[in-house]
Amino acid sequence: MTDLFAKIKEVTELQGLPGFEGPVRNYLRNRLTPHVDRIETDGLGGIFGIKNSLIADAPRLMVAAHMDEVGFMISDIKADGTFRVVPLGGWNPLVVSSQAFQLILDDGRQIPAISGSMPPHLSRGNNGNPSLPAIEDIIFDAGFTSKEEAWDFGVRPGNLLVPKNETILTANEKNIISKAWDNRYGILMVAELLENLVDQNLPNHLIAGANVQEEVGLRGAMVSTTKFDPDIFLAVDCSPAGDIFGEQGSIGDGTLIRFYDPGHIMLPNMRDFLLTTAEEAGIKYQYYCGKGGTDAGAAHLKNKGIPSTTIGVCARYIHSHQTLYSMDDFVEAQAFLQAIVKKMDKSTVELIKHY
């Protein structure tokens, strides 16, 4: 087991849904505290390590992952003891059924549960082709015989269902299969960044950590950017790979230059800075046109406008139980992030903001 794989396994097997990011926050607090001047949190639970520059008028650089992963919340307990849910984050209904979950109770207990599916034997009246159900109609089952039994065991509406999966290395030892690389990638990126910069004096006041509730509308980024008021905001997030579908984003081809997504257009001077930095540092990168959003989409609209971008990698099959991604891409993205942070001085910020 490589050191990097061991770190990835640890962080991806953490459980943290939107609004319930405690285990991931505790991980970050432990990783960041030895390498920063202080730890600060915001009112929703975002956590950031502050590393002050020795330069008095240094710009404020914010590097932010997000702690939450996608999952489900129980909305109703039926008379037969099964559950119905609401999604926390975006899910394709095709990947929800017949999967294993951990049901997390209010007291912290975890019990096994599964998402149900229609056997072909019971769908013959529909020519063997059951219709695609809405997520709210999918049955979740923990084996209880009645609502009363589930209730007596401690199950309540509002309890969480987290995908259950083991992080494993592929046979060629180049890629990893796990849940939640979106966005435990960013959590590990931030932790490794601060660990590698511990003895360096930076040309910026670095605010590095993670937001909450990104998967349900970029909520945490709105709060943290208001609190810290950075000059530049860097989201650190994972995007869907389209390589096997004939789309942009190939695993193994390096970090992403995410020049567009529906919520954010990269500023020309930011783009020039990123490309120059990548070329000078010998970073392997690929151009990426996003079809979803990141915290950069919320951050760049806050305060008086904050130039933002996303330092990312791509992974296959995100927002599901099984995500497949490249370890080499993480290494390239980490080198890229470190190069950016080391170069982000006052003159660079002024150049990015020059119109």
Sign, Cα dihedral of 244, 279, 264, 53: positive
Helical H segments across 131-205, by residue range: 147-153, 181-196
| Residue indicated by tokens 């709060």 | 223
Backbone phi, psi, residue 22, to 5°: -50, -50
- Grouping H, G, I as helix, E, B as strand and the rest as coil, residue 235 is strand
d(CA 70, CA 180): 8
Residue 345 among known ligand-binding residues: no
d(CA 292, CA 63): 20
Residue 66 among known ligand-binding residues: yes
Answer yes or no: are the C-beta atoms of 257 and 287 closer than 8 Å. Answer: yes
Report the amino acid identity of residue 241: A
d(CA 178, CA 180): 7
Residue 182 among known ligand-binding residues: yes
Give the active site residue among 21, 69, 192, 214.
Answer: 214
Distances, alpha carbon 307 to alpha carbons 88, 162, 178, in Å: 28, 34, 32
- Grouping H, G, I as helix, E, B as strand and the rest as coil, residue 153 is helix
**Contacting residues for 270 by C-beta, under 8 A, at least 6 apart:** 307, 308, 309, 352
Task: Measure the CA dihedral 28/103/315/265, to 10°.
Answer: -70
State the DSSP code for 212: S
Answer yes or no: are the C-beta atoms of 215 and 70 closer than 8 Å. Answer: yes
d(CA 62, CA 50): 9
> How many other C-beta atoms lie within 10 A of the C-beta of residue 305?
11
214 is catalytic: yes
Q: How far is CA 83 from the centre of its chain?
A: 27
Cis upstream peptide for 183 (omega within 30°): yes
Residue 319 among known ligand-binding residues: yes
Q: Residues within the annotated binding site for Zn(2+)?
A: 66, 182, 215, 237, 319
Would you name the residues annotated as active-site residues? 214
